[in-house]
Structure 1
Amino acid sequence: MGQIAFWGIQHGLGVTSNTAALASIIGMDYQIRTLCSQPQWSDNTLESSFKKSINRGNPEFYNMSGTGLDGLERAVRAGKIERDTVKNNALFIERDRLDLLRGSEKSDKSQFDNANEIMRIIYNGAKEYYDLVLLDVHSGSNSPVTNTLLEDSDLIVVCVNQNIHVLDKFFKDKESLPKALLRKPHVLLVGQYDPESKYKVRNIANKYSYKGPILTLPYNTSFKDHLNDGDIKGFISRNRNISKNHENYQFIQDLRRNAKYILTEVGINTQVKMIERGAS
């Protein structure tokens, strides 16, 4: 069992799209019970990324209010969190392999921020059922919920891009980073990666004397279009078994490499859990 938090030093770094893409490929490629969730106040963009799958697979439950994080908060306050409680409040994306937990519908940010200990209980409860929990947490370090969940995570995926100002802020402004990054295992993921840029992985590592691992995920037009259409699962499904000369091949290969890396880091045996290619 492992919890992985996807985090960015600021908004606009593709944290949600990275979370959605990795959740999808894991749900397609591995026999692992995975939950993805976006514990943020007034933000349901992760849910929107899977809109088509949710509408097809959960037509009645999807329109029910009071489910997801808000429903689970009430269950925690009532002392009714059991092994299957989170599962029963989640929406399935890939049956028995990938679920999504709806975000909060609270209109008061302070109410959400003050529920950080309840969020901890919810996701600890999720790990009683799920093998893997993927969290798209709020960017920056000003959210109590984010700081709590980062501390509880087994791995933090730090999402950056090739913008020099973003890189400088991450590598040079240590005071602005969550304290969890000083203590928890973490890996850099450079999203919308351009291998022709001056700021390729090797040069980033040299410039900042960085010795840690750096993953990349290239920019892909079709992926972005499917993201906007709420059909991430459809994109992954249609491109799982493409040939090397296909325009999306490198994106899928890098996505698979990243998935294998983060799963291995949290102790999951990817060889044992891998589903045979072509199987559903």
Structure 2
Amino acid sequence: MAQVAFWGFQHGLGVTSNTAAMSALIGTEYQIRTLSSQPQWGDTSLERSFQKSLKQNTELYDLSGFGMDAIERAVRAGKLQNETVKNNSIFIERDRLDLLLNSRKASRSQFEAGAEVFKIVYDRAKAYYDVVLLDLHSGTNSEVTNALIETSDLVVVCINQNIHVIEKFFGDKESWPSALKDRPHVLMVGQYDLHSKYKLKNIANKYGYKAPILSIPYNTNFKDHYNDGDLKGFITRNRYINKNHDNYIFMQELRRAAEHILTEIGVNTQIKSIQKGVS
């Protein structure tokens, strides 16, 4: 149905952790088919954030026959079907969240040469999935990134509270990928410090920004689970905490961001939300 790309001007802005957090939350709390993928050469950090779930769910699989490289072979052989991506992905939450293992291309040049194939694969994935969440390489020096921004229905531009990064977003449109200028996008502040003077409201006021700004607060417990490869476990264990819990604000902001993103791409979040006690 829709493709959402997470992207940042530079590395170190939490793009992968933001993508992973959104994937885990949406896969847990919404009855929709979601695919999460990281089309970046030599990077498997998105996969590692779900390592415990992957280990539990892949015992019966021969992983050599899975992932982007297997799908690319199907594309080149003219055998790509609507469910090819599904059949070559690993489920994190059955029927709700799948993870497409990244390409294991030996060189970056080989990887980047497949930009058109990536576009074909994710376009076909939208025939099966309600939402495809992509963790893109930061910056503008990746042909794959540029191609996928061009075909995304929504781009989540990830920044932090570093004033130089903020000013780059608001004041240096020349550094934007050309495709982004024509794409619907939303601003997300990751690793958000609630005590910083660069609060969302202050940022919006300073630059006269009228659109919503999403945030994912910095949270030590979330970061530890992310590093331990147990992101699904973190979301599951913190789903029904009360407002006095240390992780409550984090979960509320995560939900707010997920609801906004899904609404932007046409998902009725009230209908698709999974109520408490339903799995």
Q: What band does the TM-score fall into relative to the shorter chain? A: over 0.9
Task: Output aligned runs, 1:188-227, within 5 Å.
Answer: 188-227=187-226
Q: Compute the displacement of 1:212 (Å).
A: 2.1
Q: Hey, what's the Cα distance between the residues in 2 that align with 1:204 and 1:268? A: 28
Q: Hey, what's the Cα distance between the residues in 1 that align with 2:7 and 2:65? A: 26
Task: Output aligned runs, 1:59-70, within 5 Å.
Answer: 59-61=59-61, 64-70=63-69
Q: Which amino acid aligns with 1:177?
A: W
1:98 equivalent in structure 2: 97
Identity %: 65
Q: Compute the displacement of 1:66 (Å).
A: 4.6
* Residue 172 of structure 2 corresponds to residue 170 of structure 1: no
Q: Hey, what's the Cα distance between the residues in 1 that align with 2:29 and 2:115? A: 32
Q: Hey, what's the Cα distance between the residues in 2 that align with 1:271 and 1:52? A: 30
Q: Hey, what's the Cα distance between the residues in 2 that align with 1:253 and 1:85? A: 35
Aligned CA-pair RMSD:
1.0
Instruction: Tell me, yes or no, if the aligned pair for 1:191 and 1:219 is still in contact at 8 Å.
Output: yes
1:269 equivalent in structure 2: 268
Q: Which amino acid aligns with 2:57?
A: G
Q: Compute the displacement of 1:165 (Å).
A: 1.3
Instruction: Tell me, yes or no, if the aligned pair for 2:15 and 2:135 is still in contact at 8 Å.
Output: yes
Instruction: Tell me, yes or no, if the aligned pair for 1:241 and 1:278 is still in contact at 8 Å.
Output: no
Q: Hey, what's the Cα distance between the residues in 1 that align with 2:194 and 2:240? A: 24
Unaligned 5+ segments in structure 1 are none
Residues 132-169 of structure 1, C-alpha deviations (whole Å, 9 max, x = no match)? 10000110111111111111111100111000111122
2:178 equivalent in structure 1: 179
Q: Which amino acid aligns with 1:173?
A: D
Q: Compute the displacement of 1:77 (Å).
A: 0.3
1:18 equivalent in structure 2: 18
> TM-score under structure 1 normalisation?
0.97
Q: Compute the displacement of 1:273 (Å).
A: 0.6
* Residue 247 of structure 2 corresponds to residue 248 of structure 1: yes
Using the TM superposition, name which of 269-278 and 36-45 deviates more. 269-278
1:81 equivalent in structure 2: 80
* Residue 109 of structure 2 corresponds to residue 140 of structure 1: no
Residues 6-46 of structure 1, C-alpha deviations (whole Å, 9 max, x = no match)? 00100111111111111111111110000000011110100
User: Aligned residues, how many?
Assistant: 279
Q: Hey, what's the Cα distance between the residues in 2 that align with 1:246 and 1:184? A: 38
Q: Secondary structure at the match of 2:215?
A: strand
Q: Hey, what's the Cα distance between the residues in 1 that align with 2:103 and 2:169? A: 29
Q: Which amino acid aligns with 2:17?
A: S
Residues 187-237 of structure 1, C-alpha deviations (whole Å, 9 max, x = no match)? 111011112211111221222232222111111110000000000000000
1:54 equivalent in structure 2: 54
Q: Hey, what's the Cα distance between the residues in 2 that align with 1:263 and 1:97? A: 14
Residues 103-157 of structure 1, C-alpha deviations (whole Å, 9 max, x = no match)? 0111211111111110001001111111110000110111111111111111100
Q: Compute the displacement of 1:170 (Å).
A: 2.0
> TM-score under structure 2 normalisation?
0.98
1:128 equivalent in structure 2: 127
Instruction: Tell me, yes or no, if the aligned pair for 2:65 and 2:88 is still in contact at 8 Å.
Output: no
Q: Compute the displacement of 1:83 (Å).
A: 1.1
Q: Which amino acid aligns with 1:82?
A: Q
